[in-house]
Chain A
């Protein structure tokens, strides 16, 4: 079974440090999404890419978050500097570019900022 792979699975770091989360989408999927899950807000879309081009990052705090796709097999989400309120589970998902196709989720990165 093809899977979306996210690393690291867990990350604990101190406030102010840079955090980089990585995602390997399913081979052949041309759309990659980043979501954040918190108890208070639930699941929120942060950004997504199609064919490596950013399509929408309106859900992402621009001052400290950045998302990139250096190549078709890697998507990254960076937080610099990190803050305690960034503590959450960050999910990557990938899908086909055709409308309405389901998204396949990775296992998530559980991030704790102390």
Chain B
């Protein structure tokens, strides 16, 4: 079974600071990787995803993430954060199956609560 570890449970930054949120996964096979964001009281929204190809993926709102296979990592970055980025961020993974195919349920990390101070 796969597992996901997010190292920072709470992060507090000032506006314009750079952001990096760590995510490591544990799984022996090939995976699909996702970052979701949850604003207070709202549903989860997809920020970005990695399936294959370029390990540096760009998402919405200026976020990007880099897949480093050798480190089993998929860290989220943003060069300059804004107050509106205050939210909960979840890294998630599902196994990529070659036979049968199909989207599997996601395994989520515990989340990182990001607070941006004006």
Give the B-binding residues of A (Cβ under 8 A): 4, 31, 33, 35, 42-45, 48, 50, 55-56, 59, 91, 93, 95-108
Contact = CB atoms under 8 A, between A and B. Distances in A.
A28 B95 CA distance: 23
For the complex of A and B, list the 5 residue pairs with the smallest distance between their C-beta atoms, beginning with the closest. A100-B32, A45-B105, A43-B108, A105-B44, A105-B43
Interface of B: 32, 34, 36, 42-46, 49, 51, 90, 92, 94, 96-97, 101-111
A66 to B, nearest CB: 17
7 contacts: A35-B106, A43-B111, A56-B104, A56-B105, A97-B101, A100-B32, A106-B43
A81 to B, nearest CB: 26
A22 B71 CA distance: 40
A97 B103 CA distance: 6
A112 B46 CA distance: 27
A103 B106 contact: yes
Given A45-B106, A98-B101, A99-B101, A91 B43 contact: yes
Contact of A42 (B49, B104, B109): B109
Contacts of A97: 101-103
Given A42-B108, A42-B109, A107-B43, A102 B102 contact: no
B30 to A, nearest CB: 10
A45 B108 CA distance: 9
Name the residue in B42, B46, B103, B106 with the highest tally of chain A Cβ atoms < 10 Å from its Cβ.
B103
Name the residue in B32, B105, B106, B110 with the highest tally of chain A Cβ atoms < 10 Å from its Cβ.
B105
Contacts of A98: 101-103
